[in-house]
Structure 1
Amino acid sequence: MTELRDLTPHAAIPLEQSSRDRRQRRRVREYLPEMASLERMLAEAPEQVRTSVIERISLKEVNLPVYRVDIGSEAPDAPLLLLVGGVHGLERIGTQVLLAWLQSLLKRMVWDSELQILLSRLRITVLPILNPGGMFLNQRSNPNGVDLMRNAPIEAQGTSTFMLGGQRLSRRLPWFTGTPESGMEAENQALEKVIRELLPGRPFSLALDCHSGFGWQDQIWFPYAYRRRPMRKIASVMALKLLWEQAYPNHNYVFEPQSQHYLTHGDLWDYFYKKINREGPGGFIPLTLEMGSWRWIRKRPRQLLRLEGFFNPMVPHRHQRVLRAHLNLIDFMMRAAANHENWLPGSDMQPMLREAAIMHWYREPG
């Protein structure tokens, strides 16, 4: 069901609410321009695009929807590509990359017959701004002070990095995990509902969660973040890595498990990976794109004078370069999911690929 009424300019608003609603829209345009861009894009989208609101985040100033966009096949056995952005409110570039790709896809859907055929056998679900409250407030956490990427019910096996790996000292400090008795935050519960609705029973699902703020180079991380041992379906991850490198040999991404850098408590994708792959025969690979924001700071150190400068490219030409740099990656993910049967390893290839993955990522040097 399409729900674009709350913030769109042509909504039918009772007279006694119109003034308040106009003030809210002005504040959203000022503090959350990504939401305004998304709503304009969806208002002009082809009729095949299905839009719904999966959660509402209420702040003192505004009421913010969490939008879900569904494109392509509605068959329950079609492969799925799930795209998520805006988990950390400060990392706006993740949402902006997804919006740039989504805009390109919606325009191509009108005239690209090959894309239309591909979408007839693939489902794409996009949650461009999972944490609109945090983005509106210009903070990493959600409005409750909880880091959504540290909020799942899963504990690190081994010593996690102090603070960075998640802490329960105070919601006023970064990387606060929340408390076990409170359960997952509303934004994460909404994401879990989407995953539980869409993923079980499908032959293959692929997710990409877009972030920024770590390292000199763009990285593609996969589970686990809670332990240093390989995931059960590591052979499929190695097959996907090799497929990507064969198709785009001149890429600049580092493909590796997050645990090579640090362990964390409460990682969302560790939690969902274990849930989905334990409960059904289908394969699910969640990936995280970590855009290397340190490069942007090195090229323009005065970005450090602004909080958002730690996580986003501030120079216009560099910002445009980042927006177009990841279009090929997301298009590849779309085609890899749609054609999973042509590259996912069978039982004969899995032992070899698993051993290659262990040698490549988990074997101690020396």
Structure 2
Amino acid sequence: MPAPSPAALLRLEELLAAAGGAARHRLLGWVDDGGERLPLHAILLGNPDPGLPALGFFGGVHGLERIGAEAVIAYLHSLVARLGWDRGLQHQLDHLQLVFMPLVNPGGLRRGTRANPRGVDLMRNAPVEAQGPVPFLVGGQRFSPGLPWYRGAAGAAMEVESAALCELVEAELLSRPFALALDCHSGFGSRDRLWFPHAHTPEPMAPLPEVHALGRILAQSHPHHRYVLEPQSRQYLAHGDLWDHLLLRAAGRPPGSFLPLTLEMGSWLWVRKNPRQLFRRDGLFNPMIAHRQQRVLRRHLGLFDFLARATQSHAAWCPQGAAREQERALALARWYAA
């Protein structure tokens, strides 16, 4: 008997129904998982005017990391529940588009695997080659889909899930004058980290001044936040990163108009508090006790709300001219000094 569809997929469809006409739905494609077809949903809230900024939330790229999908769905649930009465939210959505793809890898979520049903790690699947040494296997491999971090066959098209994410970003984010994206993951250390590209090279990305300015206003408005903001390349290099690929696709856009971020929730802290999780495959990546999961979901709502406000108000903090060069100098000293 095939496994049931992931519970998160059912919750997402319930939220779509609850939002009614306030939400726009895009069916991006279908994933075949052992004979069952699973949908790739995107939900859009706010103003579709392409002249306004946009913010995208993504989760479930790795099916084993359920908490990322659940965090995005929790934020979407909060918004949908407030649509009917929150005048501040209504005003915000008049000046902003929010894009949600919480279940990028529904087959992996259904199976409880990092990869999709074809054995491909979606975050190693883009046509981007690392420019430097990558860690064995972890940085992406083409030996076998039976091993973790499989990139897919050389020269093959991207997986349907990867291609759907890229199509959504290009259509709904890269078409805007300014856009942010947040991709939610778990499993790296005991600190919550906000990574930005590049993953394929240690060279700084073009919108480095903007991400440094974003970090500055985050620290000013949330002085006790728990996030470590840093380039992913500071930890390791990898082939096939989807956000590197999309940032390269945005190279023709105005400087600093697209900022992709990855939230890496520090799952080792959950394991330390509940060592029995070590004996479960998903225990390394998700809080297994209900009150801890609820605490995690609450904790990141403040970050999500901050990013929505920052996106809407991007003209007030994005540096221009000499200020942009100053932010770049500060960023280079902070993250790239020898």
Normalization by structure 2: what TM-score?
Answer: 0.97
Partners of 1:305 and 1:137 lie apart in 2 by: 18
Deviation at 1:348, TM superposition (A): 1.8
- Aligned position for 2:252: 279
Amino acid at match of 2:239: H
Partners of 1:217 and 1:200 lie apart in 2 by: 30
Deviation at 1:109, TM superposition (A): 1.4
Deviation at 1:27, TM superposition (A): 2.0
Please list every run of at least 4 consecutive aligned residues from structure 1 whose deviation after the TM superposition is greater than 4 angstroms: none
Amino acid at match of 1:159: P
Does residue 295 (structure 1) correspond to residue 272 (structure 2)? The answer is: no
Q: Deviations along 1:265-320, whole A, 9 cap, x unmatched?
A: 011101101111x1222610000000000111111111111111010000111111
Q: Deviations along 1:128-178, whole A, 9 cap, x unmatched?
A: 101001111110001110000001111111101111111111110000111
Partners of 2:8 and 2:172 lie apart in 1 by: 26
Partner of 1:326, secondary structure, is: helix
**Conserved in 1, the CA contact under 8 Å of 2:56 and 2:173?**
no
* Identical amino acids, percent of aligned pairs: 46
Partners of 1:201 and 1:85 lie apart in 2 by: 21
Does residue 268 (structure 1) correspond to residue 242 (structure 2)? The answer is: yes
| Aligned with 2:22 (options 48, 55, 65) | 48
**Conserved in 2, the CA contact under 8 Å of 1:153 and 1:180?**
no
**Conserved in 1, the CA contact under 8 Å of 2:42 and 2:99?**
yes
| Aligned with 2:183 (options 206, 209, 223) | 209
**Conserved in 2, the CA contact under 8 Å of 1:46 and 1:110?**
no
Deviation at 1:114, TM superposition (A): 1.4
Partners of 2:28 and 2:246 lie apart in 1 by: 18
Normalization by structure 1: what TM-score?
Answer: 0.90
Deviation at 1:46, TM superposition (A): 3.8
Amino acid at match of 1:170: S
**Conserved in 2, the CA contact under 8 Å of 1:85 and 1:98?**
yes
- Aligned position for 2:110: 136
Does residue 313 (structure 1) correspond to residue 287 (structure 2)? The answer is: yes
Q: Deviations along 1:234-259, whole A, 9 cap, x unmatched?
A: 00110000010000001011000001
| Aligned with 2:4 (options 16, 27, 51) | 27
**Conserved in 2, the CA contact under 8 Å of 1:46 and 1:106?**
no
Deviation at 1:201, TM superposition (A): 3.9
**Conserved in 1, the CA contact under 8 Å of 2:18 and 2:80?**
no
- Aligned position for 1:74: 48
- Aligned position for 1:114: 88
Gaps of 5+ in 2: none
Higher Cα radius of gyration: 1
Deviation at 1:182, TM superposition (A): 1.1
- Aligned position for 1:151: 125
What is the number of residues matched between the two proteins?
A: 337
RMSD of equivalent CA atoms: 1.3
